[in-house]
Amino acid sequence: MQPFRTLTSVVTPLDRVNVDTDQIIPKQFLKRIERTGYGEFLFFDWRQDPNFEINQPRHKSSQILVAAKNFGCGSSREHAAWALSDFGYRCVIAPSFADIFHSNAGKNGILLITLPEEQVQALLDRAAKTEGYKLHVSLEDETVHDDQGFSAKFSIDPFRRYCLLEGLDDIGLTLRHADKLDNFEQAHNTKHWLAPRT
């Protein structure tokens, strides 16, 4: 996983609430067995509209998406995170995120920043008004700021932060606890009523 430290990029404003993962990557693209190549299908249905934010030339090569509340709700498909990252997004800012998407994003090096609704609205407004509107994100300092005086602190779960900063593989981290796992499992195996098959 690519480590995430700081990022400066043009912002794509997506002023919609409850953006679900079915929109981020529609089901017809879930049949592939690869992990890559989903970027071209990102927001496939919405992108049929030439005015859709992501289609606008001014947002080309943007790596920061700003959206309204409950971003990433619905299906657990990690393809949503793959599509965002494959398209080039490395950071999403919103007032809230759905749980499973939150975890999927982290595992793919995408930083999710939760900011209060008013601040997100301010970013959406500025990005809509100012051509080439940019944000600077620092995960090290947990800050977001622009060149017009906007500045905000965010906070993120310390462990998630550490993994993102270092670009760490989760399985490797878990295997540090292999002894505990072996011991636990031995005792747990005796609870036959928790075994799937009899």
Residues lying near other proteins in the complex (CB under 8 A): 15-18, 20, 22-23, 26-28, 30-35, 45, 68-70, 73-79, 81, 96, 98-100, 103-104, 107-108, 157-159, 170-171, 173-175, 177, 180-181, 184-185, 188, 191-198
Which lies closer to other proteins via its Cβ, residue 98 or residue 137?
Answer: 98
Contact, 115 vs 93, CB < 8 A? yes
3-state secondary structure of 140: coil
**CA-closest candidate to residue 75, choices 17, 36, 18, 20:** 20
β-bridge pairing 134-138 and 143-145: antiparallel
The least distance separating other proteins from the CB of residue 65, rounded to whole angstroms, comes to 16
Which lies closer to other proteins via its Cβ, residue 128 or residue 173?
Answer: 173
Residue 94 CB partners (closer than 8 Å, separation 6+): 66, 67, 68, 69, 70, 71, 112, 113, 114, 115, 120
Which lies closer to other proteins via its Cβ, residue 134 or residue 161?
Answer: 161
β-bridge pairing 143-145 and 151-153: antiparallel
The least distance separating other proteins from the CB of residue 149, rounded to whole angstroms, comes to 24
Which lies closer to other proteins via its Cβ, residue 21 or residue 62?
Answer: 21
Token duo for residue 29: 């693209």
The least distance separating other proteins from the CB of residue 134, rounded to whole angstroms, comes to 24
Give the helix/strand (H/E) hosting 106.
helix 99-107
Token duo for residue 94: 């919103």
CB atoms within 10 A of CB 55: 14
Which lies closer to other proteins via its Cβ, residue 151 or residue 184?
Answer: 184
The least distance separating other proteins from the CB of residue 29, rounded to whole angstroms, comes to 9
Which lies closer to other proteins via its Cβ, residue 57 or residue 171?
Answer: 171
